[in-house]
Amino acid sequence: MKRITGGQFLMGSDRHYPEEAPAHDMTVGDFWIDESPVTNDEFSRFVTETGYVTLAERPPDPAAYPGMKPEMIRAGSLVFTPTRAAVDLNQPLEWWRFEFGADWQHPYGQTSSLQNLGRHPVVHVAYEDALAYADWAGKSLPTEAEWEYAARGGLIGAPYAWGNSLQPGPKPMAKIWQGNFPWQNLGTDGFLYTSPVGSFPPNGHGLYDMIGNVWEWTQDWYAAGHAGIATACCGARSADSSAEQRSYDPCMPDIRIGRKVLKGGSHLCAPAYCRRYRPAARYPQPIDTSTSHVGFRCVSR
């Protein structure tokens, strides 16, 4: 872990996606944060010692999902599948599929394995899985503010964790998509999907993979923007008893599942599709949903 000295910083952005606004002053205290996302090897030790079974490895409870088709009551998770040609980028179901048997030990589907992936970030972890690991490790999940403060690496006002340019030199600075998303995966950095942690340069705090590779869970309930929290200290939203209800997806009023804030973008973020490979970027993730591009790291306070 790396020790981060707390302080005040400008959180969010007024120049990118609307949910990142308004940019506002935020203060965090001192904390320690994992140098990189939790890897498959590290998560495997946790499972071996505790016998823990992740959400993706358990069949869903039909009572929690009224109207669920009987054939869907099987364990599984969401897996990215590249399309064969260009598609409408507003239709994510073109490249996401729910695959039975996909889980952290089978990241690309039930016939895949963790062979040669020990140093890659663990994926297919739902929010409760990340919490269980953090508790076992004697740590916590970061607040959104802590995560963003750490990701900025001490830079003030820079859009990227390393400065003002997405790729200031000949080599990529993070594991993001190369090519035309979602059908042309060039993998010019040597990795088609996730990469071993530490494959790209660290930020100013010595932290790896804060940008790209996998999205990372934070403990904050999602809100569509920073309005009304400009003076809140870190973690305030997490303590708000109504925050979970406000995080429900307004486009799906019949589905009352809380959503947490993800940070950092992933290997699927592409300049022409998802420019969320920045510290200010944020995304809502239902707490009951695991995917092949979401992982986590922990903090200690």
Q: What is the pLDDT of residues 96-105, one digit of tens each?
A: 999 999 999 9
Condensed to tens digits (0 to 9), the pLDDT of residues 146-198 reads 999 999 999 998 999 999 999 999 999 999 999 999 999 999 999 999 999 99
pLDDT at 229: 52
Does residue 270 belong to any structural domain of this protein? yes
Does residue 102 belong to any structural domain of this protein? no
Average pLDDT of the residues in 121-130 = 98
Q: Would the pLDDT of 235 be above 70?
A: no
Phi-psi region of 50 (alpha: psi -120 to 50; beta: other; left: phi over 0): alpha
pLDDT at 34: 98
Residues 6+ apart with CB under 8 A from 268: 80, 176, 177, 181, 182, 274, 293
Does residue 151 belong to any structural domain of this protein? yes
Does residue 148 belong to any structural domain of this protein? yes
Does residue 196 belong to any structural domain of this protein? yes
Q: Would the pLDDT of 204 be above 70?
A: yes
How does residue 91 score in pLDDT terms, banded at 50, 70 and 90?
very high
* Distance in angstroms (rounded) separating the CA atoms of residues 143 and 301: 11
Tokens, residue 186: 């060039």
Q: Would the pLDDT of 238 be above 80?
A: no
- Give the bridge partners for 39, in sequence order: 121
Q: Would the pLDDT of 231 be above 80?
A: no
Condensed to tens digits (0 to 9), the pLDDT of residues 7-56 reads 999 999 999 999 999 999 999 999 999 999 999 999 999 999 999 999 99
Residues 6+ apart with CB under 8 A from 156: 9, 10
Percentage of residues in the chain with pLDDT exceeding 90? 88
Percentage of residues in the chain with pLDDT exceeding 70? 95
* Distance in angstroms (rounded) separating the CA atoms of residues 20 and 105: 34
The number of beta carbons lying within 10 Å of the beta carbon of residue 169 is 9
Query: Based on the structure, what is the number of domains in the chain?
Result: 1
Does residue 206 belong to any structural domain of this protein? yes
pLDDT at 226: 87
Peptide linkage before 22 cis (omega within 30 of 0): yes
147 contacts 31 by C-beta, under 8 angstroms: no
pLDDT at 254: 82
- The residue range of the domain holding 256 is 1-39+118-301
How does residue 240 score in pLDDT terms, banded at 50, 70 and 90?
low
Does residue 104 belong to any structural domain of this protein? no
Q: 72-86, 94-108, 239-253 — which is least confidently predicted?
A: 239-253
Q: Would the pLDDT of 230 be above 80?
A: no
pLDDT at 241: 64
Does residue 51 belong to any structural domain of this protein? no
Strands (E), 1-139: 2-4, 7-11, 24-28, 31-33, 76-80, 96-100
Q: Residue 24 maps to which CATH number?
A: 3.90.1580.10
- Give the bridge partners for 27, in sequence order: 8
- Name the more confident of 68 and 143: 143
Condensed to tens digits (0 to 9), the pLDDT of residues 250-299 reads 988 888 899 999 999 999 999 999 999 999 999 999 999 999 999 999 99
Closest by CA position to 7, among listed 31, 33, 29, 25? 29
Mean pLDDT of all residues belonging to the chain: 94
